A and B are shown apart, each in its own frame.
Chain A
């Protein structure tokens, strides 16, 4: 059994699957712990989870439970990290893999949609609590929609 490493090497270096699983489990616990206390570092932690789940996914077949769940985990944690574009790209990428079942493809899409909505609702709740006047006037969900639209614009005004 290869010696377990505590830290993965850089991208191209081989890291054994067992080590990756240990790291992934650890990263999930950390990210969920940070999210539970409302830490601003939670999003970065979830991005780590997504990266590690993706590494596990690349070393496992989508037809296995661990492979499928790792892929689902990578997509979901990308959304929780605020990297919705990454999540969308992962869905496309995983769905196109040979061996990806229809159940997997459906589950990936559903996970993406569901978590985007959850995240949107969480933000709306936070805005509703913090800015009751704006929420009453415009609607918390509307404010979240506007904010997402501005982010999508990627510039203060749509000049480009």
Chain B
């Protein structure tokens, strides 16, 4: 399964184009910062099921890493990865960004047409479970949705985990 970060805008037409490009750029920085090259293999724990993926991106000048703060690289990189995976693996699309006080990052529509709230986070290290629990507790509070998911991406391996809040 190829996750081509630079096709985010195609995958999610309602994602503002400039944002999509930005996420892809910072995703590339995050992966390159972790010492990875395009085509790196990753494993996504999709609600307990491991899914192998290959991440592709257009190489970027690593000096750009100095122009963007570390947190933005990690978080936006996680957004790029997560949105790409959810599009390719599950067929979800972005509907609307949520505001912080709404406890989630994105309102998405799944392949069945249901509304899903998504909270995304990134970590530089490798330990996902702690951050995943935290984000699940948070996204659980998003009202009105049919489902609520959290996605955490670690750029060390790289690897990711997707879980649904009950």
A49–B14 touching, CB < 8 Å: no
Is A133 in the interface zone, CB < 8 Å from B?
A: no
- Complex: chain A residue closest to B115, CB-CB: A65
Once A18-B13, A25-B16, A66-B107 are accepted as A-B contacts, the answer to whether A49 and B99 lie under 8 Å apart by CB is yes
B115 near A66 with CB under 8 A, answer: yes
Instruction: Categorize the interface residue count of chain A.
Output: 20 to 34
Check A104–B144 contact: CB distance below 8 A.
Answer: yes
Q: Does A128 contact B (CB under 8 A)?
A: no
B16: which A residues are within 8 A, CB to CB? 22-23, 25-26, 29
As a 0/1 sequence over residues 36 to 72 of chain B, the CB contacts with chain A under 8 angstroms (1 = contact) are: 0000000000000000000000000000000000000
Is A140 among interface residues, defined by CB-CB distance under 8 A?
no
Return the chain B residue nearest A67 by Cβ: B144
Residue A12 is within 8 A (CB to CB) of chain B in the complex: no
Q: Please give the distance in Å from B141's CB to the nearest CB on chain A.
A: 10
Say how far A22's CB is from chain B's closest CB, in angstroms: 5
Which of A25, A32, A76, A103 contacts B96, CB < 8 Å? A25
* Chain A residues numbered 63-95 whose CB sits less than 8 Å from any CB in chain B: 64-66, 68-70, 72-73, 76-77, 80
User: Is A69 in contact with B98, judged by CB distance below 8 angstroms?
Assistant: yes
A103, B99: Cβ atoms under 8 Å? no
Q: Which residue of B lies closest to A63 (CB)?
A: B144
